[in-house]
Structures are given as C-alpha cells and as structure tokens.
C-alpha cells in the first residue's frame, strides 16, 4: 500500500497541477511507506513522523527496520533530509547500505530517547551524514536531486555539536511546516530510475524538492 492508497480525502486524485500532491503531502498518508536503499534492498517502513513543535518543521522519520537484521524490530530516527521521495514507485529511498544499518543508533519502542538532547541529535546526524544546520527535506521524483546531506558519508555541519538542546529536535527539518527541499545536491542514487513524472527538483520553500 502506498501513499496514494492511503489518501482518504482525494488529495492525490488529480493529475498535473491539480491537488496538493506530490508537492505538498499529507503526513498520515506517508505512514507505512516502504523504504529501500540505492541497491533496491528493503529497509523497512515509516512508523511515525516527528514534528518540532517550536518551529512546526519535520525533524525525523521514525523507521522500523525489522527482524531482517537479526535484532528483532527496532526503531530508528532518520533525519528528514536523509530521505528521497521516489514518486514513480511511491516509496522512500534511504542511501544506507543494509549491513551498515546494524550499527545505526536505534531504540526500543518502550524506551524512546530524548530527541531534544543535542548529543543524541549530533549522533543521529553524524551517522546519516546530514547537516543539522541546513533546512531541507527529502528530494523527490525519479529525476530529482538527492541532497548531499542525506547521503551517508556526506559532511555534517560544524554546528552539530554546538546545537542547543532546545533546537535539537528541529535539526535536519524542512523549511516551514512542510516537506521542503534543501540546497546542494547530487544525483538520485538509484541508477536508471527514470519514471514518468515531471522533474520537480527545483521546487523549494513550501514544497518538496
């Protein structure tokens, strides 16, 4: 089931410019969305989307990477900017090797971390190679760009360690209360993923891209 199937109010029913999707999307429709990596390996699905209540920005997607790691189901907070919305296949792409996820900072559903803690936030952004000081969200579309901050191994801004605890939850968020895109980009990590939707990589501000 994809976000289009979860659309209860017809927001994605139109084509072209009709309807808010995929430039603006309902958060509830993204819950349960599949996540794969650049090698098309299944990484799990989105269980929750965390909002920074001070800024109204999306901070993290909480993923369940499941028993395939031999660990039982664990939860992982992934910076929103680390994800790429694949609008052709209606799923998210997280450019992390499946084996590397065994070392990802995770937690049990009965013991959530303090997401406002600067040290915790710095650890998360360091692992996923995202920049806590860069406002941005998932790139989108098969021809769109993936922000370099969302690529594992990418640079992390110097502000990661100095980010105040009161702002840690806002790190790696979209511009405004939206799913905004970030500056600086690299190509979609999935080779040959073309699809038939338009290139929305230049959409910024209140949109995805």
Q: Which helix (H) or strand (E) holds 30?
A: helix 27-30
Question: In 3-state terms, what secondary structure has residue 58?
Answer: strand
pLDDT tens digits, one per residue of 148-185: 333 443 333 333 333 333 333 333 333 333 333 333 33
The number of distinct structural domains making up the chain is 1
Res. 201 pLDDT band, cuts 50 70 90:
very low
The token pair that represents 43 in the structure block: 């990484």
The token pair that represents 127 in the structure block: 């692992």
The token pair that represents 172 in the structure block: 């790696």
Q: Which helix (H) or strand (E) holds 86?
A: strand 83-86
Q: The domain spanning residue 30 has which CATH number?
A: 2.30.30.240
Rounded to whole angstroms, the Cα distance separating 203 from 128 reads 24
Instruction: Quote the domain boundaries for residue 160.
Output: 1-209
């Amino acid at each position: 089931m994809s976000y289009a199937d979860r659309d209860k109010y017809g927001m994605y029913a139109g084509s072209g410019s009709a309807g808010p999707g995929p430039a603006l999307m309902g958060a509830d429709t993204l819950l349960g969305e599949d996540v794969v990596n650049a090698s098309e390996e299944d990484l799990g699905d989105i269980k929750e989307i965390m909002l920074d209540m001070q800024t109204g920005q999306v901070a993290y997607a909480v993923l369940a990477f499941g028993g395939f790691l031999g660990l039982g189901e664990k939860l992982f907070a992934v910076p929103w900017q680390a994800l790429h919305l694949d609008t052709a296949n209606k799923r998210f792409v997280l450019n992390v090797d499946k084996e590397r996820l065994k070392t990802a900072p995770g937690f049990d559903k009965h013991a959530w971390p303090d997401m406002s803690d600067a040290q915790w936030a710095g650890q998360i952004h360091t692992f996923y190679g995202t920049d806590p000081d860069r406002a941005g969200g998932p790139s989108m579309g098969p021809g769109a760009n993936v922000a370099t901050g969302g690529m594992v191994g990418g640079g992390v801004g110097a502000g990661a360690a100095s980010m105040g605890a009161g702002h840690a939850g806002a790190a790696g968020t979209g511009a405004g209360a939206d799913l905004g895109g970030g500056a600086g980009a690299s190509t979609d990590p999935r080779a040959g993923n073309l699809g038939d939707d338009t290139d929305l990589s230049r959409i910024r501000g209140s949109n995805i891209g």
